Amino acid sequence: MVQSIREGGDIGIPVMVSDDELSKKAFRDLAKEVEQRATKS
């Protein structure tokens, strides 16, 4: 896990509302991949 994501969660700042654009992109990419795999038949 990315340390900044964990630390942000520990203090109540979700990655998607942080200033860390690289982590936001990684999180969005992961969410898209999970969605695609979950909706495959």
Q: pLDDT per residue over 11-40, tens digit each?
A: 998 888 988 898 899 889 999 999 999 998
- CA torsion, ordered 11, 20, 6, 14, to nearest 10 deg: 50
Q: Give the pLDDT confidence score for residue 39 in this predicted structure.
A: 94
Q: How many domains does the chain have?
A: 1
Domain residue limits at 31: 3-39
Q: Give how far the C-alpha of residue 1 lies from the chain's centroid of Cα atoms, to the nearest Å.
A: 10
Predicted TM-score (pTM) of this structure: 0.68
